[in-house]
Structure 1
């Protein structure tokens, strides 16, 4: 991924989360001008800054750079598990039924398009 693509992805995720440039810069503890340069593809963030942005955007590194890796799946499994912790047993069963149906539909769509 080049500087421009990374910057565009960061900007898209920031806007998707309804964050301003200022709030993301503050959350990532980086300068506002520097963040703007990253988003415009002028500068490539250091690894330290990249990690700060990942944390501030609450995404996995793989999601930010557009990779699907085992660690990315682990990240999503963990997020799902965290969300389900507060549910009752009945709510958990309902979510599982919905998830199973959704997975079946996604697989069906995938086979139809290949």
Structure 2
């Protein structure tokens, strides 16, 4: 198992679980059996660019998102999960709503920073 295959598989699993999909459900979306997706997620299978493209589209991410933080940059997996969850929440919002949310986040961070 290559380090890159394991990394990509871990990212696929994280995005899949964050979207509440089973391996079987993702497999249906990308026309691959669950057993093959399990092998990908465990880093046991090398996947083609076409499969990466299909999986990325099914998960609503960019292919590059599967390679982010490789090699490990010290960013914790929990941080990536939270960032992905926030992105998912914002995807269905209008630009105006996102601007309001951004302002709220900036205000909250100012409060946090002032307490340091």
RMSD: 3.2
Aligned residues: 95
What does residue 4 of structure 1 align with?
A: 6
* 1:12 counterpart SS class: helix
Kindly indicate which of the two structures has a greater share of residues assigned to helix: 1
Cα deviations across residues 27-63 of structure 1 (Å, max 9, x unaligned)?
1112222111101100121000000000111111222
- Unaligned stretches of 5+ in structure 2? 70-89
* 1:45 counterpart SS class: coil
1:30–1:49 Cα contact (<8 Å) kept? no
- Unaligned stretches of 5+ in structure 1? 68-79, 86-91
* TM-score, scaled relative to structure 2: 0.63
My pick for the range that moved more, 30-39 or 19-28, is 30-39
What does residue 36 of structure 1 align with?
A: 38
Q: Give the CA deviation at 1:100.
A: 2.6
* TM-score, scaled relative to structure 1: 0.64
Q: Give the structure with higher Rg (CA).
A: 1
Aligned match for 1:98, one of 93, 97, 101: 101
